[in-house]
Chains A and B, each alone.
Chain A
Amino acid sequence: MPQPVQYRGMALIVPDNDSEWKEFYEHARAHRLVVRKCKACGLMRYPPTHACPWCMELGWTWQEVSGRGTIYSYEIVAHAIQPGFREQTPYAVVLIELDEQRGQPTPDEALRVIANLVKADFTPEAEANVAIGRRVRVVFQDLADHMALPQFTLTEEPASGRVWRMPE
């Protein structure tokens, strides 16, 4: 795999022997969001890991998920640390709870993913639209022939539960 991939001043390195991320990003480049699914108990997990955190089984397969979910929490970065993000401020980092496997295997657990909340052109969504409970879907920001970054964008679906923004 050619590397590194340059993105916002960062060198993203996914070597051929990266047994966690290489195939994940290849799927993302084909615009599929995948997670690992345990061959024994069937539970899914993210980020990619090498044993099932619930049953310690080593066997797994990539499982495509719908990419639909709900904003579980967020932050608005006003002061960027990375130089490549300075022109993006203010930008939202969101914690997305995917629809699949919510509240399993215990009520506190879910498939959750960190990403930016973006508009169609991958620029940051307006801060006023960022809220816990808003529905989102995955979009893929192509970075190279072999790599795309999963991002999330708002949908028009009704909110899931209480919609909440930090008070002004």
Chain B
Amino acid sequence: MVVQSRGLRDKYCIVGVGETEYSRASGRTTRAMAVEAIRKAILDAGLTAADVDGMLDYQGGDSTLANSVASDLGIRFNFYMDVMGGGSSTEALVGLAMGAIEAGMCNTVAIYRSMNGYSEFRIGGTGARAAQPVRGLDLAQVPYGMRSAGQNFAPTFMRHMYEYGTTSAQVAHVRVAHSKHASQNPKALLKQRVTVQDVLASRWIVKPLHLLDCCLETDNATCVIVTSAERARNLKHRPVHILGVAGRVSKPRLDFHWAHGPISRVAGYYAKDIIFPQAGIGPEDVDVTGSYDAFTFTTMLQLEEYGFCKKGEGGAYVSSGIIELGGQRPNNTSGSHLCEGYTHGMSMVIENVRQLRGAVDDYCPRAAEGVHTYDYSPGHCRQVKDAEITMNLGWAMPATGSALIMRRG
């Protein structure tokens, strides 16, 4: 089915971004963290609480909903929704925010995610979640010791290795690249650069995943603010325009995606045909990617499915140096989920907004003024020179994903 573009290219912008510290012991509520992240994003945009009249958030019964955090900040709504979801929600909600504004429901929407993802509700399903009763569709997998995200995705990764000869050493380069990027990021939890050998020598979690193939459960809140390009013109930063968005596109048989192969295919197979025509560009035009790295393999699978290389050549692509700072198309320049901290995707959109502003928060002495050295040795710069177009590839699971293409104004 062809999805008709609605002519919204360039008409909406992300104007504010904000986040809390990334930690493994926030020592406070998701309400407190959400308020901090939203406030930072409002101030970053040069807005006031009175200018924000819409709110969207995503959660899985593990967070504080919009009614509380908006009240803390003195925000009155013309529109809000609390949405169930984890990975790939950010991009989808950016599209829904555009839709709400386009429908005349509100003017400016703050989108947030707040979670004590390590100290309270662990994403991996350990602790309280592992003790929950098993019923309904979960009976098809959970009684077999298949509950965590890594356990749920590993047969997809294994089948890709079988079909295409992808190796552990190839995908380890995703961790190597992201750790390089994190070494330039004062916010990152893991700033130490690692080697392919470090990844391969780390202990097994669920084959084919080593410990260092997996991301880092984290406490944090994140926020982005969406408004029209018209309003964005008068705000603080150079606007970042939305060229296209695809939200939670799925493969067939979402109840049990194993039924419809090839299981090494991911949702980008369908999403790419929505987003690239909308944006009016192709993969070759993208300067920086933000391919969701819940695991090293998720980054690789999405990059190949969206056409940054041929299907099956993702292992060669991610191990070629292309995805590293200084390479032709760096991926996740903050170090993202593998090294910066796990946010369910919003941090990768925030990073790309900062890249397009030319104002990433690295160790360059004059980073705050947007002056960068482009020295990618440890402890220095992570700004990509003249980044004009970025693309985020959001991942919920092999069968569901989202995408977002932005350009600098």
- Hey, which bits of chain A sit against chain B, CB under 8 A? 4, 7-15, 18, 20-21, 45-47, 49, 53, 72-83, 85, 88, 90-91, 93, 95, 108-112, 114-116, 132, 149, 164, 166-167
Quote the shortest CB–CB distance from B205 to chain A (angstroms).
Answer: 5
Are B204 and A79 in contact, with the CB atoms below 8 A? yes
**Which of B126, B130, B135 is A13 in contact with, Cβ under 8 Å?**
B135
Q: Is B280 an interface residue (CB 8 A)?
A: no
Most buried by B among A72, A81, A93: A81
Q: Which residue of A lies closest to B126 (CB)?
A: A81
Q: Which of B144-152, B303-311, B374-382 contacts A (4 or more CB under 8 A)?
A: B144-152
Report how many A-B pairs have Cβ atoms within 8 Å.
133
Q: A109-B261, A112-B259 are in contact. Are A81 and B204 (CB under 8 A)?
A: no
> Whole-angstrom distance between the alpha carbons of A83 and B167 in the complex?
31
Q: Which residues of B contact A116 (CB under 8 A)?
A: 144-145
Kindly list the 3 A-B residue pairs having the minimum CB-CB distance in the complex, ordered from nearest. A75-B154, A78-B204, A73-B155
Decide yes or no whether B27 CB sits under 8 A from chain A: no
Are B258 and A81 neighbours in the complex by a CB distance under 8 Å? Answer: no
Q: In the complex, are the beta carbons of A73 and B151 less than 8 A apart? A: no
B residues 138-174 near A (Cβ < 8 Å) are 139-148, 151, 154-156, 158-159, 161-162, 167-168
A-B contact pairs, 13 of them (CB 8 A): A4-B133, A7-B143, A8-B145, A10-B143, A11-B133, A11-B134, A13-B135, A46-B256, A74-B155, A82-B145, A88-B145, A112-B258, A166-B208
Tell me which of A7, A114, A132 contacts B258 (CB under 8 A): A114
A53 lies within 8 A of B253 (CB): yes
- When C-beta atoms are compared, the residue in chain B nearest to A21 turns out to be B139
Residues of B within 8 A of A91 (CB): 145
B217 to chain A, nearest CB (A): 12
CB distance from B168 to the nearest CB of A (A): 8
Does chain A have a CB within 8 A of B366? no
Partner of A10, one of B142, B162, B260: B142
Residues in B lying within 8 Å of A, measured CB to CB: 124-126, 130-131, 133-137, 139-148, 151, 154-156, 158-159, 161-162, 167-168, 203-208, 252-253, 255-256, 258-263
Which A residues lie within 8 Å of B140 (CB)?
Answer: 47, 114
State the Cβ distance, A153 to closest chain B Cβ, in Å.
14
Which A residues touch B158, using CB under 8 A? Answer: 73-75, 132, 166
Q: How far is the CB of B322 from chain A (nearest CB, A)?
A: 24
Question: In the complex the two chains form, what is the Cα distance from A51 to B162 in whole Å?
Answer: 33
A14 to B141, CA, bound (A): 14
Decide: B207 and A76 in contact? CB cutoff 8 A.
yes
Distance in Å from the Cβ of B180 to the closest Cβ of chain A? Answer: 26
Assuming the A-B contacts A80-B145, A82-B145, are A95 and B155 also in contact, with contact meaning beta carbons closer than 8 angstroms in the complex?
A: yes
Asked whether A75 lies within 8 Å of B162 as measured between CB atoms, the reply is no
Given A4-B133, A11-B133, A164-B162: A109 touches B260 (CB 8 Å cut-off): yes
Taking CB atoms, residues of chain A closer than 8 Å to B255 are 47, 49
**Residues of A with C-beta under 8 A to B126:** 81
